[in-house]
């Protein structure tokens, strides 16, 4: 098995294929997991709303979560950090930017008053964690276990507030009906989903590390670009299609919700399992993740329609292009 894997890792074409197959397994695994787990939860009499706020919401962050858990287990901490920062940056600047170019992105009151400000706080907390020394003698720069616990506490607050809001405003929290299926099929889908996530995550991490080694760049660069974009492709496709159907408010809720889950839950758990030391350029990446949410909040607060206009989408894409150019021009050599 080890010799077979080495053949893939030594051939650039097979290495690229391994990465692509890993991304497909990861994304489809998350879909199968959500469908199977949702059907099983429905069998136990759990409402569609609760399933949507738990199983479905967690399922959309499963690709990032699995990649992070594999990265942490393998000691590839740079990839664990950049997977989250890169995904959030792409979510905000690329997905919302492209969606707004198709059709202005409308915001709901809860997003403006709670979700977007919380995503700003998430970005600021990550920036503070990677720039301020820990008071507990842990790794001086990076996501420490203490920082991970703080993020998880914020995640608990987010879940509590989300459930309370859903209970008080049921009309604002419509969710697609859960797909009913026989129990055996639900278990099969759940099993296949877990298999796809685990195998896909392992393939992505190993291929990403080898690609970084072959190109002579840091794992952080691969995490910020290839891995982050790959795990964000489903959100991109969903958001752009929603914009074509003039349902762009769905795009904003999905992106901001995904960003909150990624930081408070995925990054929080990752840091608690293993502290994530800082890498070169992390300050800029963390700041960009925060700036994205700040720009979105300014865009929806400074016009009567409370939406991201097409010019706002263009600004988001231009800012991302400048940021990516800067990062690629200052590639960090692999150690």
Rounded CA separation 152/269 (Å): 7
Q: 2-329 in CATH: which number? A: 1.20.1420.30
What does the pLDDT read at residue 292?
A: 93
Rounded CA separation 224/213 (Å): 15
Asked if residue 93 lies in contact with residue 320, where contact means CB atoms within 8 angstroms, the answer is: yes
Torsion of CA 146, 148, 151, 155, to 10 degrees: -130
Rounded CA separation 106/93 (Å): 16
Asked if residue 46 lies in contact with residue 178, where contact means CB atoms within 8 angstroms, the answer is: no
What does the pLDDT read at residue 334?
A: 46
Rounded CA separation 298/92 (Å): 13
What does the pLDDT read at residue 170?
A: 61
What does the pLDDT read at residue 1?
A: 45
Asked if residue 193 lies in contact with residue 32, where contact means CB atoms within 8 angstroms, the answer is: yes
In 3D, which of 147, 123, 153, 149 has the Cα closest to residue 135? 147
What does the pLDDT read at residue 295?
A: 95
Full pLDDT tens readout for the chain, 335 residues: 445 556 556 677 777 888 888 888 887 888 888 788 888 877 777 766 566 656 766 777 788 888 888 888 888 888 888 889 988 999 999 989 988 988 888 888 888 888 899 999 999 999 888 887 655 555 556 788 999 999 999 999 998 888 887 777 665 555 555 677 788 888 888 888 888 888 888 888 888 878 877 877 777 888 888 888 877 777 777 777 777 777 766 778 778 888 999 999 999 999 999 998 888 888 889 999 999 999 999 999 888 888 899 999 999 999 999 999 988 887 655 44
What does the pLDDT read at residue 315?
A: 96
Rounded CA separation 201/67 (Å): 5
- Tell me the domain boundaries of the chain: 2-329
Asked if residue 61 lies in contact with residue 273, where contact means CB atoms within 8 angstroms, the answer is: no
What does the pLDDT read at residue 224?
A: 84
What does the pLDDT read at residue 50?
A: 64
What does the pLDDT read at residue 335?
A: 43
In the block, tokens 């507030």 appear at: 161
Rounded CA separation 141/47 (Å): 43
Longest dimension (CA), the chain: 62
All residues at 6 or more sequence positions from 47 whose CB lies less than 8 Å from its CB, including other chains: none
Q: Which residues pair with 277 in a beta bridge?
A: 142
What phi-psi label fits residue 246: left (phi over 0), alpha (psi between -120 and 50 degrees) or beta?
left
All residues at 6 or more sequence positions from 286 whose CB lies less than 8 Å from its CB, including other chains: 85, 123, 126, 127, 130, 131
């Amino acid at each position: 098995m080890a010799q077979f894997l080495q053949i893939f890792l030594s051939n650039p074409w097979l290495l690229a294929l391994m990465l692509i197959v890993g991304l497909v397994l990861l994304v489809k695994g998350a879909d199968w997991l959500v469908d199977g787990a949702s059907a099983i939860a429905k069998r136990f009499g759990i409402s569609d709303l609760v399933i949507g706020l738990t199983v479905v919401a967690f399922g959309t962050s499963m690709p990032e979560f699995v990649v992070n858990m594999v990265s942490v287990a393998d000691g590839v901490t740079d990839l664990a950090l950049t997977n989250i920062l890169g995904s959030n940056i792409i979510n905000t600047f690329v997905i919302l930017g492209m969606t707004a170019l198709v059709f202005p992105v409308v915001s709901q009151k809860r997003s403006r008053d709670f979700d977007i400000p919380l995503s700003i706080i998430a970005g600021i907390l990550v920036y503070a964690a990677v720039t301020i020394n820990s008071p507990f003698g842990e790794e001086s720069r990076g996501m420490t276990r203490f920082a991970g616990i703080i993020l998880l506490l914020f995640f608990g607050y987010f879940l509590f507030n989300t459930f309370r809001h859903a209970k008080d405003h049921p009309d604002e929290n419509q969710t697609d009906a859960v797909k009913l299926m026989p129990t055996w099929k639900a278990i099969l889908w759940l099993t296949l989903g877990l298999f796809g996530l685990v195998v896909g995550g392992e393939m992505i991490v190993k291929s990403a590390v080898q690609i970084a080694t072959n190109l002579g760049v840091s794992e952080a660069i691969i995490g910020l670009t290839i891995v982050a974009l790959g795990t964000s492709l489903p959100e991109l496709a969903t958001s752009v299609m929603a914009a074509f159907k003039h349902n762009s408010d769905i795009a904003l809720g999905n992106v901001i919700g995904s960003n909150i889950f990624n930081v408070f839950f995925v990054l929080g758990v990752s840091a608690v399992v293993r502290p994530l030391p800082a890498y070169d350029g992390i300050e800029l990446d963390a700041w960009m993740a925060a700036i994205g949410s700040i720009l979105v909040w300014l865009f929806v607060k400074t016009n009567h329609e409370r939406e991201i206009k097409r010019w706002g989408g263009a600004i988001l894409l231009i800012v991302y292009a400048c940021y990516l150019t800067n990062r690629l021009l200052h590639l960090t050599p692999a150690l």
